[in-house]
Amino acid sequence: MELRTLRAFVEVVRQGGFSEAAKVVFTTQSAVSKAVRQLEDELGLPLLNRIGHRASLTDAGEVVYRRALVMLAGRDDLLAEIAELRGLSRGTLRLGLPPIGNDALFAPVFAVFRSRYPGIEIKLVEHGAKRLEEMVLADEVDLGVSLLPTLDAFEWQSVRCEPIHVLLPAAHPLAGSEQISLAALKSNPFILFETGFALNGIVLDACRAAGFAPDIVARSSQINFIVELVAAGLGIGFLPKLIAEQRQRPGISHALIVEPAMEWNMAWIWRRGGYLSHAGRAWLELAAEVSAKT
């Protein structure tokens, strides 16, 4: 059963005849008559009593007319909702963010996006980069944040590339240095993030390249807690430059790690070849716009 034939039938009833219905649906009278006959043949019952150029409903026609109105109204509602999604006046955007750098990098985008598209609901989850990659592939989020280079399964848009800084207790012999090599830190206890945070991989890969395996004395998913552990003298920590500069406090010194491979290169990712909603594309456009201004 096609909506086209239902529309023709409904208009015959509404307009009181085939020729009048043909004008409403922008076709010929014969095409309308054929559509109604097709519907009657499919249902196996006459729907109209034809009297000259006029027509009235049979009992079966009453049932079909009533149901057809509901079905056609549902189609109109569907098209209206799709138009609203295209126009970004409604919908949902699912974002996966890392716990590192949210306030500095993404809060400005949120503020502008909300003002431009107040009808779009944003649903957020926070995880490390590896988990976010899994969620993007499983279609649990529309867009996620990971570090480059990433898998070929993703398309990506750059967010920001930052060097890595080491956080040192104020009493550390190298405190106050502007730049430090990773090799100069190999005898220090390391404080890293929990497993699954991509920043760990950057640090550990660089240590392997420098020829040592660090002594990891603590892990945490909280930036502020890592900063406090460093201030307490438990060990040294690592943060992207942007984040390290926001966490300055007495008892802490931070310096650039001079290793070319140690970069925090963050990007938005989404499934290569997958469907990305209008809201998702609008977010990427806005994120690029905000990034260009900073």
Position 245 confidence tier, pLDDT thresholds 50, 70, 90: confident
Q: What is the DSSP string of 92-115?
A: EEEEEE-SSSIIIIIHHHHHHHHH
The tens digit of pLDDT for each residue in 148-176 reads: 888 899 999 998 888 999 999 999 999 99
Reply yes or no on whether the pLDDT at 196 is more than 80.
no
Reply yes or no on whether the pLDDT at 211 is more than 70.
yes
User: DSSP assignment, residue 275?
Assistant: -
Reply yes or no on whether the pLDDT at 272 is more than 80.
yes
Position 84 confidence tier, pLDDT thresholds 50, 70, 90: low
What mean pLDDT comes out for the span 176-182? 92
Delineate the domains of the chain, giving CATH numbers in brackets. Answer: 3-86 (1.10.10.10), 91-158+265-293 (3.40.190.10), 162-264 (3.40.190.10)
pLDDT at 50: 78
Position 294 confidence tier, pLDDT thresholds 50, 70, 90: low
pLDDT at 199: 85
Distance between CA atoms of 68 and 45, rounded to whole angstroms?
A: 16
Q: Which stretch of 43-47, 230-234, 251-255, 258-262 has the lowest confidence by average pLDDT?
A: 258-262
Position 24 confidence tier, pLDDT thresholds 50, 70, 90: confident
pLDDT at 237: 94
What mean pLDDT comes out for the span 225-229? 93
Position 10 confidence tier, pLDDT thresholds 50, 70, 90: confident
Q: Which stretch of 24-28, 168-172, 224-228 has the lowest confidence by average pLDDT?
A: 24-28
Position 185 confidence tier, pLDDT thresholds 50, 70, 90: very high
pLDDT at 40: 87
What are the structure tokens assigned to 179, written together? 């730049």
The tens digit of pLDDT for each residue in 119-141 reads: 888 999 988 888 899 999 888 89
Reply yes or no on whether the pLDDT at 197 is more than 90.
no
Whether 110 contacts 275, CB under 8 Å: no
pLDDT at 83: 67
Q: What is the DSSP string of 199-231?
A: HHHHHHHHHHHHT---EEEEEES-HHHHHHHHH
pLDDT at 22: 86
Written as one letter, the residue type at 90 is R
Residue 273 vs residue 1, higher pLDDT: 273
Q: What is the mean pLDDT of the chain?
A: 87
Rounded to the nearest 10 degrees, what angle do helices 59-86 and 3-15 cross at? 120
pLDDT at 218: 94
Q: Which stretch of 23-27, 200-204, 239-243 has the lowest confidence by average pLDDT?
A: 23-27
Burial 44-71 (b: 16+ CB within 10 A, else e): eeebbeeeeeebebeeebeebbeebeee
Reply yes or no on whether the pLDDT at 76 is more than 80.
no
Residue 264 vs residue 79, higher pLDDT: 264
